[in-house]
Structure formats: C-alpha cells, structure tokens
Structure 1
Amino acid sequence: MNEVISVIFPAIRALREDRDWTQQQVADMLYLNRRTYSAYENGVNVITPELLIQLAALYQTSVDYLLGLTSVKDPYPRKS
C-alpha cells in the first residue's frame, strides 16, 4: 500500500473520534452506508479523490492533512 495513502485511514478515524461521532453519523453525512464508511476507515476500500475532498470539508481540514503532507490540522484558523 502506498505510504501516503496509508496515512489517510488513521487520520479520518482520529478526526471522527475527536468529534465523538459514530461511523453511522459520518456515513449519514456523506450519504454512505455505515459498512462502506467503515471499509474506507479501515483501509479496505480505496478513497476516491472526490471522497477525500468531502472528508476534508466535513472535518474542516485540508486534503494535505489527510494525506499526511502537513501537520497543520486546521488550515483556516478562526480569528478571535
């Protein structure tokens, strides 16, 4: 498995768990069934570029973060 791609799976799980969301909740937000989302999160299914963009938007992060290309989780921090 490609090293960069293998970074995605733990990243999306950690982001989901940080929000206390279930796989079912995320699957519903992405219009997927839970098994399909679980397969993405566990590295069974290949994440398409389109889904990668949707995940970045959902988790309010960048595609680069999901791919492990940057450690900056929030590319657009809110000003106080």
Structure 2
Amino acid sequence: MKIFAVRLKELRNEKKKTQKEMADFLGLKLRAYQYYEGATHYPEVPNLLKLADFFEVSTDYLLGRSNEREMKP
C-alpha cells in the first residue's frame, strides 16, 4: 500500500495540487484523501480510475504493479 501513497503524493506535487484540491476533485472530504497519501486506505475503483486519468498514468503504475507511467492503448 505504501507504494500507492508515495506515487500519489509524488504525482500530486508534480501537478502542483494541494490535498484539498485533490479531495474536491474526487468529491471527498480532505481527511479521506489524506488517508490515501497516509497509506491507510486505497480509493474505491471509480476514484482510482479518476486519479489515473487525471495524472495520465495507468492504474497499474499507481498501485505499484508497473514502473511505467504511460498508459498503453
């Protein structure tokens, strides 16, 4: 779970977004989003897909199943 949290925070910082902005984007309370970056919770599938689309990476990359950021067609 830690790799997801690390990658999520890294991607958010690259986009210069705050945790609050990401929480709003996902329709979550700030604390719920902080659980993602704190490695205590994974997002539900719809939010995982939103995050992957927003950051233009694959869900496999977010979840640590791949080191390739690029989505394959």
Give the superposition deviation at 1:72: 1.4
Larger-gyration structure (1/2):
1
- C-alpha RMSD of matched pairs (Å): 1.5
Residue 8 (structure 2) pairs with residue 12 (structure 1): yes
More deviation in 65-74 or 45-54?
Answer: 45-54
Which structure 1 residue ranges, 5 or more long, are not aligned? none
TM-score (norm 2): 0.83
Q: Deviations over 1:52-79 (max 9, x none)?
A: 2221112111001011122211226xxx
Runs of 4+ aligned residues of structure 1 deviating over 2 Å after TM superposition are 44-51
Q: Deviations over 1:31-61 (max 9, x none)?
A: 1111110111111223323322221112111
Which structure 2 residue ranges, 5 or more long, are not aligned? none
3-state DSSP of counterpart to 2:56 = coil
TM-score (norm 1): 0.77
**Which runs of structure 2 are paired with 1:1-80 in the superposition (5 Å)?**
5-75=1-71
Identity of aligned residues (%): 29
